[in-house]
Amino acid sequence: MSKTLVRFFTIADYEEEEIWLRRQHQSGLKLVKMIPPCFYVFDECQPEDVIYRLDYKNSEQTQEYMQMLRDFGWEYIGQCMGWLYFRKPADAAESEQDGELFSDNESRVDMVIHVVKTRLIPLAIIFLCCVIPGFTRAMSGKYTGVLGTFFSILFGIMFVIYIYLIVYCGTKLRKIREKYKL
Amino acid sequence: MEDKIRRIYVPMTESGFYILFCLQEPQHGYGISQQVKRMTGGAVSISAGTMYGTLSKMEKDGLISFYREEDKRKLYQITELGMEILSLEIKRIERLYKNSKGVDVDE
């Protein structure tokens, strides 16, 4: 039997997402695939302690990369919006590092920087170049009629969501980076 | 030697050092991690993502080069530049070690 759960994690919540997926598996739901932006398809399974890990690669991952992850005992589940999902049974991890994708702080910080550069900054640019101009035009009453009201509301909602996402993700990614800072 | 490369890699991270050291013989990522575990009695363990990231960076910076492919696995080997960096780093560690034992060094 398969089951689909809806849960929204931002680009700064990958560590919580890993824990959430592990808990699901402990309670008998193993991840089968993700459907963007926030649908998780699970299959019912024997409850088991399985470690889930996410890696961020916005570009095409190489065959070499996939082979290396396999060599290290990681099962590839799939990818969703730049994030690759892997898992490994907890008892197959010989050491703490064996249960992680990154064993030193430098590589953990590298991933955070990569997320900021390719996700957070583009988000901020869209905000500055599209959402703010649209929002100010709407506020100054440039849009009229029914369509105008619709646009004004749309830009209002986008304005709030973007501010929330940028502030939330920016602060949180900074906190993660600081946690791992050398 | 390019100063920039030297600034980036000396001093090196622990994983960086072991990876470069192991690549004095051609080897692939997983092989390196096994060798490092053996050498250090399990004290140093390099994870998959860190291994892949470090190898890619070192290849880009010319410290190691592609040797050949074996069942989808890329084997790497240290380059001349890599050897220079490695010996600088070894010298630095030797100095640290001697100083930690209370021995003065003059280089």
The domain defined by B3-93 carries CATH number 1.10.10.10? yes
Low-confidence residues of chain B: pLDDT under 70: 1, 107
pLDDT of residue A182: 58
Residue in A58, A106, A50 with CA at minimum distance from that of residue A84: A58
pLDDT at A59 over 90: no
Strands A75-80, B64-70: pairing is unpaired
CA distance A169 to A171: 6
Least confident window among A134-138, A142-146, B87-91: A142-146
Mean pLDDT along residues A152-161: 90
Secondary structure (3-state) at A59 = coil
∠ CA B93-B74-A117, nearest 5°, is 75
**Record: contact B45-A65, CB cut-off 8 A:** no
Query: How do the domains of chain A map onto residue ranges?
Result: 2-99, 105-180
Average pLDDT taken over every residue of chain A: 91
Whole-prediction pTM? 0.89
Query: How do the domains of chain B map onto residue ranges?
Result: 3-93
**Record: contact B50-A104, CB cut-off 8 A:** yes
pLDDT at A44 over 90: yes
CA distance B45 to A58: 27
pLDDT at A176 over 90: yes
Cβ-Cβ contacts under 8 Å, A52 against chain B: none
The residue written with tokens 């049974």 in the block is A89
Mean pLDDT along residues A51-80: 92
Here the tokens at position B64 are: 């190691």
Please name the member of A68, A74, A97 whose beta carbon is closest to the beta carbon of B29: A68
Q: B101: which DSSP letter?
A: T
pLDDT of residue B41: 93
Confidence of residue A16 (pLDDT cuts 50, 70, 90): very high
| CA nearest to A69 within chain B | B48
pLDDT at A45 over 90: yes
pLDDT of residue A135: 86
